[in-house]
Structure 1
Amino acid sequence: MKTIFISDTHIGQNTPENWYQKSVHEKYLKAILQYVQSNAEDIQDVVILGDWFDLWMYTPQPQISATLNNIINNNLNVFTKQSDGDFITCMDSIQGNLYYVHGNHDMNIDFNQVNKYFAPLSSKNKQVICTDRIYGKNGIYAEHGHYYDTLCKPYSGKTDKYKPLPIGYFISRIAAWWCEKQLKKAGKSNSSELQNQGNPSANDFWTIIFDNDFYKIVFTMPDGTSIKRSDVLNLYPDLVTSWEDVTKLLTVDLNNCLDNYGANLCNDSYNGVKNKVVVMGHTHVPTMQQHLNSVYVNSGFMCPAVPDVSDGNMMMTFVEVDQNSSSYTVTIKKVNYPDTSIINYNQCIV
């Protein structure tokens, strides 16, 4: 039986700075959901491995209005039953369950709210199986990956009134602000038309923090309170003292790429069972690395900008793990642009 892993869809309210733009990315996401539905008799579980919803990629002002209900209502073609692929039919058609693991961009999504919406729509009385950090079953171990990222793991310090939001939350909103500036400068309508969206760069952040307007930023938070850019660092005194420190940490996290953590997890076990397949997301880069009799694989990204996917710098990918009595066939599957066909991008057997 097969297990499908999809991460980093980043579905939001389709505001211009959101990475996921339904006018561009919806048909590719639906192609994956249709693939699941067409092969449902061979699929045990589908795991949404974090950043399913995006509560971070919004400009500092005005106040963020993104909630689970708002996001769903802005994307009904994937959150209601459709003939060409949707999450509800996907959940009902597979042999096992639809699982949802928190990422960083959706760490505040309430699991009860997820099933308040999903469960009544199921024709088979199913509900989404929600878990905060880990999916583990039969030698397959998976998590989003942000717990290994200093800037993005849930913050547990004593001073942050907005915890568990980490400093990465504010970095994302700064990135959204920068995207808005670049859209206006280039005369573009949304982030899908700009290069290097969803592909974080420490060099880009150096440029941002020295922009004259950066010092004027005020963040209006989801609860209606406001915080100045200059006061954000005071929330994380154990991590940073300057925005230059933030950029240095960003460089370290990007260079780590989760690969070392994936290798370590390949040599570990979960609930007493040796990890044969380790899956993570978060980095937006599809990766496959074999470690003796185990494999680490990254599921990649589902909403790159058109210029990035057109020139081959980024891809839309997901992971399929086919387990039998003696082995695991692990495949990174690529959704082709622009025709939405699905092909094997990389594969190994352990």
Structure 2
Amino acid sequence: MTYWNLQNADGTIVLRLEENDATGAMSGTLASDGTTYTVQGGWSASGSVPGRLASVFALRGSDEADAPTWIAASGVMMGPGAAPQRITLSISIASGHDGSLRRKNAELTPLGGGATQKRKIVVISDVHIGMGTPTVWFQPSVHDAYLKGICDWIIANAADVQEVVLLGDFFDQWTVPCDEQPPSIEAIIKANPQIFGPTGYLCQVLDALGGNVTFGPGNHDMWASVNDMSFIVSAAGHSPKFFEGGTYRPPMPDGGQKNIALAHGHEYTMFNAVDDASPWGGLPVGHFVTRMVASQMKRTLKPGQTVADLAGQGSPDGLDYTSIVKGAWARGDVNVVEALLDSVAAQTGTPKDQMFVLADGSSVSLAQVQSQYQGLFSQWQAKEGGGTQGTINAWKSVLADAQGYYMGFFGQRKAFEQSAEVVVFGHTHIPQSGLETTMVNYANSGFECASIPDMPPGGTQATTFIVIDGSTLEVSVMQCAQNGTQIAPINVGPVQAVPVGIDDSCYVKIINNGAEDLILKDQTAAHGYFAAPLPATIPAGEFGLVWLQDYAGGAGSQGSVTYTPAGGGPDQVFTFTCPLLLIYSNACSGGTSFRTKSGSGVWGAPGVVAKSGHPFYVEFTVA
């Protein structure tokens, strides 16, 4: 037996076959545009009989769906049958789902030689794998096929995949009734061998990528550790890597500046961020909310039923948090956490004397929980700088939890904090791609545990994940459909970084093409505030990002930053202004050169200021 592993130039067609030299029989998979087909067929070698002047083969198979899509392929091979050097392939695809017939031709070359550079980063989040009990959002009988489909797609495209990042809430220790002890990550791993066993879906990905799978915790698996990754060991001995600190910066294919930042995103949400003041290992108030809902589900589910049978579960749990938050907002009530706990307890029928069993076996009461988090809003106000700025950003953190609102704002903030051009979050279970009128890109990977009634075609909550091209920074939201057999990019609309009011921010990029690192020396904000910490250093050959956000009102934004070369020399002063009133104009100065734009316009010629429009973008270059 020998094996064929070939693909076309852009990796959209991948052929993986086992072939028998003695009989010419072949079997394996043929992946085309995100769908993997199980195929079989045969081949014949040139010269094996008189008059046979070419090596040819034929395959047929399907995606094995209920309404199958059939594929037939034939090709001409160049090189030995055991190791073809090039294949000219003709494909026909007939869909049992929509009746379409497609044909395409392709040139394939071996994955081991002539293949494209590994440049794609796959981001998966919010799978929520637990113990398979009825209250857990991920139900193997429903969701296994989708996770397997994603893993199969990754394996089929392994020649082009640099890394897979599991971006939090891959495991779930929260969707557990109040009176039950949450499971350990080790227990969850051992309860799901079809995923985590040596030949499970994830371990097959580990082996296909040579171990290049990285995990970071979210809120539902916040207790996960690097030691837990040792319980996942593939057939070839690989285990996932582990990242701490909340943000992962994957290496770039060209080895240059790391300009992609990946984070679960819960750090910006008041109810689900790790709470350093919590006496229960950093547990946020959202943990206890989820536990109350799980207890209600345990009481009300019918025999044989799971939460996957109910609409609204997994997205996240069917309760209307938006109304709770908007009611508190309308009242000007900063005791929004108290309102949240009271409302959820009432909606779920949770008694006032309810006890919660924690992961270490200890118990706390609902009254203790209410007392512990009553000052949470004030804590966030202070953390966000106090005053008007702190109050506004604290409310944004509340709204980000309620319905994913303002996550675009925090995604952009993460980009400016990290000097990254692409940011991907999970957490909200809402796939998103793009920010309107900005110089960075934000996307959300969505989730993998939608309830059956919410799934297409009747529902709108599909299984999704993200693919980033590390060379071009193009971000694609991918949908996994038809029980995991169909994977293709989908269009999801962009969001606004500032969804309320007019954005009169200044967004600034400083490109350091000089020989010296630039060190932050000074900053001014005559109007507005710096929405993200300024880069302390802009290394030579890299860039830094600056965001001056305006306050509500008529002043707009106006400020400056000063950097000094590390080896000495004149200071570099960069000024920028985006006024609200039309009688004033946008303005900027600094750098060796600059270019600008405003709103959704295009970049102007060097040295030309886009005098009107908002927000205002400036790209300075220092030679």
Per the normalisation by structure 2, the TM-score is 0.49
Query: Hey, what does 1:340 align to over in structure 2?
Result: 485
> What CA distance in whole angstroms lies between the structure 1 residues aligned with 2:490 and 2:410?
23
Alpha-carbon distance, 1:289 to partner? 1.7
> What CA distance in whole angstroms lies between the structure 1 residues aligned with 2:432 and 2:444?
5
- 1:13 pairs with 88, 109, 131, which one? 131
SS at match of 1:265: helix
Is the 2:292–2:350 contact (alpha carbons within 8 Å) kept by the matching residues of 1?
Answer: no
Query: Hey, what does 2:455 align to over in structure 1?
Result: 309
Work out whether 1:259 is the aligned partner of 2:259. no
Give CA deviations for 1:110-129 in whole Å, capped at 9, x if unaligned. 22121x223x5351655423
Is the 2:432–2:492 contact (alpha carbons within 8 Å) kept by the matching residues of 1?
Answer: no
Taking a change above 3 Å as real, the CA distance of residues 29 and 216 of structure 1, as seen in their structure-2 partners, is same
- 1:164 pairs with 271, 279, 282, which one? 282
Amino acid at match of 1:232: V
Percent identity at matched positions? 30
Give CA deviations for 1:165-201 in whole Å, capped at 9, x if unaligned. 11111111012112223314xx661010001012243
**Unaligned regions of 5+ residues in structure 2, if any?**
1-118, 251-257, 325-339, 379-395, 494-623
Alpha-carbon distance, 1:96 to partner? 6.7
Query: Hey, what does 1:71 align to over in structure 2?
Result: 188
SS at match of 2:491: strand
Is the 2:434–2:441 contact (alpha carbons within 8 Å) kept by the matching residues of 1?
Answer: yes
- 2:222 pairs with 107, 118, 130, which one? 107
Query: Hey, what does 2:67 align to over in structure 1?
Result: none
Is the 1:99–1:131 contact (alpha carbons within 8 Å) kept by the matching residues of 2?
Answer: no
- 1:117 pairs with 231, 234, 258, which one? 231
> What CA distance in whole angstroms lies between the structure 2 residues aligned with 1:303 and 1:252?
20
Query: Hey, what does 1:245 align to over in structure 2?
Result: none
Is the 1:43–1:95 contact (alpha carbons within 8 Å) kept by the matching residues of 2?
Answer: no
Work out whether 1:284 is the aligned partner of 2:429. yes
Query: Hey, what does 2:291 align to over in structure 1?
Result: 173
Higher relative contact order (CA 8 A, sep 6+): 1
The structure in which a higher percent of residues are helix is: 1
> What CA distance in whole angstroms lies between the structure 1 residues aligned with 2:264 and 2:355?
30
Query: Hey, what does 1:26 align to over in structure 2?
Result: 144
Alpha-carbon distance, 1:207 to partner? 6.0
Which runs of structure 2 are paired with 1:107-256 in the superposition (5 Å)? 107-114=222-229, 116-118=230-232, 120-121=233-234, 123=236, 125=238, 127-137=240-250, 138-157=258-277, 160-184=278-302, 189-200=305-316, 201-202=320-321, 203=323, 208-211=344-347, 212-239=349-376, 253-255=401-403, 256=405
Amino acid at match of 1:29: L
Taking a change above 3 Å as real, the CA distance of residues 35 and 29 of structure 1, as seen in their structure-2 partners, is same
Q: Report the RMSD for the aligned CA atoms in angstroms.
A: 2.6
Alpha-carbon distance, 1:213 to partner? 4.2
Is the 1:139–1:277 contact (alpha carbons within 8 Å) kept by the matching residues of 2?
Answer: yes
Query: Hey, what does 1:41 align to over in structure 2?
Result: 159
Alpha-carbon distance, 1:81 to partner? 3.7
> What CA distance in whole angstroms lies between the structure 2 residues aligned with 1:78 and 1:108?
20
Taking a change above 3 Å as real, the CA distance of residues 177 and 284 of structure 1, as seen in their structure-2 partners, is same
Taking a change above 3 Å as real, the CA distance of residues 303 and 347 of structure 1, as seen in their structure-2 partners, is closer
Query: Hey, what does 1:330 align to over in structure 2?
Result: 475
Is the 1:44–1:95 contact (alpha carbons within 8 Å) kept by the matching residues of 2?
Answer: no
Is the 2:204–2:234 contact (alpha carbons within 8 Å) kept by the matching residues of 1?
Answer: no
Per the normalisation by structure 1, the TM-score is 0.85
Is the 2:150–2:484 contact (alpha carbons within 8 Å) kept by the matching residues of 1?
Answer: no
SS at match of 1:210: helix
- 1:3 pairs with 103, 121, 131, which one? 121
Is the 2:272–2:401 contact (alpha carbons within 8 Å) kept by the matching residues of 1?
Answer: no
Amino acid at match of 2:209: I
Taking a change above 3 Å as real, the CA distance of residues 14 and 145 of structure 1, as seen in their structure-2 partners, is same
When Rg is computed on C-alpha atoms for both structures, the one with the higher figure is 2
SS at match of 1:136: coil
Amino acid at match of 2:410: Y
Taking a change above 3 Å as real, the CA distance of residues 284 and 106 of structure 1, as seen in their structure-2 partners, is same
Alpha-carbon distance, 1:79 to partner? 0.6
> What CA distance in whole angstroms lies between the structure 2 residues aligned with 1:21 and 1:77?
13
> What CA distance in whole angstroms lies between the structure 2 residues aligned with 1:249 and 1:179?
28
Is the 1:55–1:105 contact (alpha carbons within 8 Å) kept by the matching residues of 2?
Answer: yes
> What CA distance in whole angstroms lies between the structure 2 residues aligned with 1:75 and 1:229?
32
Taking a change above 3 Å as real, the CA distance of residues 230 and 260 of structure 1, as seen in their structure-2 partners, is same
Shift >3 Å, 4+ stretches: 124-127, 203-208, 211-214, 248-252, 290-293, 337-340
